[in-house]
Structure 1
Amino acid sequence: MDPRTTVEAMLRPDLRGRTAYGAPQLDVPVALNTNENSYPVPPVVVEAIADAVRAVAAGLNRYPDREFTALRTALAAYLSRSGTPVGPGAVWAGNGSNEVLLHLLQAFGGPGRTALGFTPAYSMHPIITTTTGTTWVDGLRGVEGAGAFDLDVASAVAQVRAHRPDVVFLCSPNNPTGTALGLDVVVAVHDAAPDALVVVDEAYAEFARPGTPSALTLLAGRPRLVVTRTMSKAFALAGGRLGYLAADPAVTDALRLVRMPYHLSTQTQAVALAALEHADLMLETVGAIKEQRDRLVSGLTALGLDPVPSDANFVLFGTLEDARATWQELLDRGVLVRDVGIPHYLRVTAGTPEETTRFLEAVAAAVPTRTGAAP
């Protein structure tokens, strides 16, 4: 190879000119841009995690349990609390749900194969797809105006039949819109794509409003259906990096072919197990966060803006004349939110009551109100 050859020239052609994923990590008083849980891990759980890691520390000279058996059992028990039985053999986990999604695409995607998602949706779906050499297809949601972010059965089925994908991504609740899917959409997409793996990303499922269904209830008898979850959000464990899925055991067997050996470290397994042993305590903040989410919706509406009703721990809000300028004005006031690339919209995480107040005050100062109402 010519020593003058540049790294850019050596890079895979499909990656050249792309920008790496990365939400801004800025030191600001109010960080509401990455859908983290604003509440710290409870002291009791901190102690339990420290004890668990201490207990395994002497054995770190040995590789971790490659099958993460105890963790799969605990995750299955947690999922089964919803009323839908899930066995350990149906569970898979990775270092965050992104690694779980990567495993799925490594096993079921690849060169010559296609993945379809309905955008706007989770931005990592197309990124991970591309890194595996899989072709990404941007499916579409509703038309502009009322229901612009909804996905109806007829539209979804038509797009699946037109593109004949090998993998289909559905988000419920959807990121960045916060909107949930009806199970009729999931079933229709699954049935319209008889040769595709259908992945329902439920990263924010614990924050859904009462009556919002989970695709976990559809797993039985559908070996091509996968439901992914994470401990980053409701469990306030974003730094722990633990995502997981539930699917037919044949799917989890396939993922063993592509995962790196011993991909879940001993300490990662210990941390996740300690958190799951205190699941009720870890999830106590979910109700408080949902209250702040609903307060964001009402407060933004009072300011004359257009928030999208949400089943997640964030709110997408719009009708901003210049979303990027508003983002900067909020940042100048010490509040960091997310510009998700949708014209006239920004996304804000539901945090603590104090953070909600700071955000609404900043919006009131940055955006001329149309009603004159106070936040």
Structure 2
Amino acid sequence: MTLPEWVPIRDDLRPYEPYGAPQLDVPVQLNVNENPYGPSKATADDIAESLRAAATELNRYPDREAWALREALADYLGHGLAADAVWAANGSNEVMQQILQAFGGPGRTAASFMPTYSMYPEYARNTHTRWIAGRRADDFAFDVDAALALIADEQPDVVLLASPNNPTGESLTLDAVRAVCDAAPGLVVLDEAYAEFRRPGTPTALSVLADYPRLVVTRTMSKAFAFAGGRLGYLAADPAIVDALRIVRLPYHLSTVTQTVALAALRHADEMLARVADLRATRDETAAWLRAQGHDVVDSDANFVLFGTFADRHAVWQGLLDKGVLIRETGPDGWLRVSVGTPEEMAAFRDALTAVLESPSIRQENA
């Protein structure tokens, strides 16, 4: 996309393309880390009936504070949280945008450590927040010493850390979280969008939230909850942090429809999360298979696997797409990311990847 010169967009935005993974109509879609198992009939029926009741009041504005939803989210998270320590918005993207609107901005700095979620620098750009990108170790592990050195040098107002990290999948230790919180002069945001997929025993930063008033833990219902179309992200933080976010939120930013549907999904939380264990098992089986084929694989606590390396990863990606399998061309050069799907979808992925890598052009390119 190239905007014509007469469009008076901000100069700093003119070179950019809109963010977005390809949305293509193919048989096997494994590129945006969706849960492949949709809501059950019982959940869908509850959502439909709840919406029917809510529809009679759509002439009225929604609950501006989304109080009932925040109470339900606090109950789901546990850790002694109350509703005033929880905030919700239209996906974790809006949550992050609000964080940088309130705590970033002109004259302020946000930092993270690459490779990580590609939207972080865009949130910074959109809010006129200076962006600093540190680096992870060569194996993509979080380098605590390097992170602390960058924090000491740059004094960022916001530190963004994904755990599990996207696109690599590693989780942070609580020691690493504590070290960053002890060193950071401003807000530390732990993005736990994929938290429900972590291996058993892997801790959450919620367990140290009470120790650090400037720590924020963000979550989403898009992934494990099979609720990507519902667009509901949320965070847990000190109530004073939540109040600061209320200053920058748009009036009535969460529609009655969104709040109603999310509450219905939370009533069925056990059922919505029932396939998480299956997805973890499929993830680990996929990683093991990829290693057995000779690929490099990053251990993942999320519902995706990063694998490589390829001299021409785009050719591999395109070859898979030509066979009806869509994965993600993202992360460091030479690497690809595949979301975890159903066993049938993963079988199609394995067959397609095997065929693509055996084609003469790809074999020569990656020899």
Instruction: List gaps (5 residues or longer) in structure 2.
Output: 360-367
Deviations 1:304-339, CA, capped at 9 Å, x for gaps: 111111000000001222111100011011100000
The superposition leaves residues 61-85 of structure 1 with CA deviations (integer Å, 9 ceiling, x where unpaired) of 00000011100000000000xxx21
Q: In the alignment, what sits opposite 2:364? A: none
1:137-167 Cα shifts (integer Å, max 9, x gaps): 1111003xxxx20012211111111111010
Q: Any unmatched runs of 5+ in structure 1?
A: 370-375
Q: CA deviation at 1:368?
A: 4.2
Q: Distance in 2 between matches of 1:70 and 1:320?
A: 49
Paired residues in the alignment total 356
State the one-letter code of the partner of 1:17.
Answer: P
| C-alpha deviation, 1:33, in angstroms | 0.2
The residue matched to 1:136 in structure 2 has which SS?
A: strand
CA distance in 2, matches of 1:355, 1:66: 41
The residue aligned with 1:53 is 51
Shift of 1:107: 0.3
Pair 1:167-2:158 in alignment: yes
**Is the Cα–Cα contact under 8 Å of residues 171 and 201 in structure 1 kept in the other structure?**
yes
Give the match's secondary structure for 2:48: helix
Is 1:310 matched up with 2:304? no
How many angstroms does 1:20 deviate by? 1.2
Counterpart pick for 1:199 among 189, 206, 217: 189
Q: Which residue of structure 1 lines up, in the alignment, with residue 174 of structure 2?
A: 183
Identity %: 60
The runs of 4+ residues in structure 1 deviating greater than 2 Å are none
Q: Deviations over 1:18-70 (max 9, x none)?
A: 11101000000100000011111111100000011111100000000001110
Distance in 1 separating the partners of 2:358 and 2:280: 27
The secondary structure found in structure 2 opposite 1:47 is helix
Task: Give the partner amino acid of 2:225.
Answer: F
| Whole-angstrom CA distance in 2 between matches of 1:36 and 1:159 | 33
Q: Could you tell me how far apart the structure 1 residues matched to 2:348 and 2:292 are? A: 16
AA matched with 1:233: K
Return the alpha-carbon distance in structure 1 between the equivalents of residues 262 and 106 of structure 2. 34
Q: Which amino acid aligns with 1:100?
A: V
Q: Is the 8 A contact 1:153 1:184 kept in 2?
A: no
The Cα shift of 1:13 comes to: 2.1
2:112 maps to 1:121: no
8 Å contact from structure 1 (residues 292, 353) kept in 2: yes
The aligned counterpart of 1:130 is 125
Residue in structure 1 matched with residue 238 of structure 2 by the alignment: 248
> 2:365 corresponds to which residue?
none
TM-score by length of 1: 0.93
CA RMSD for the aligned pairs?
Answer: 1.2
Does structure 1 conserve the Cα–Cα contact (< 8 Å) formed by 2:159 and 2:188? yes
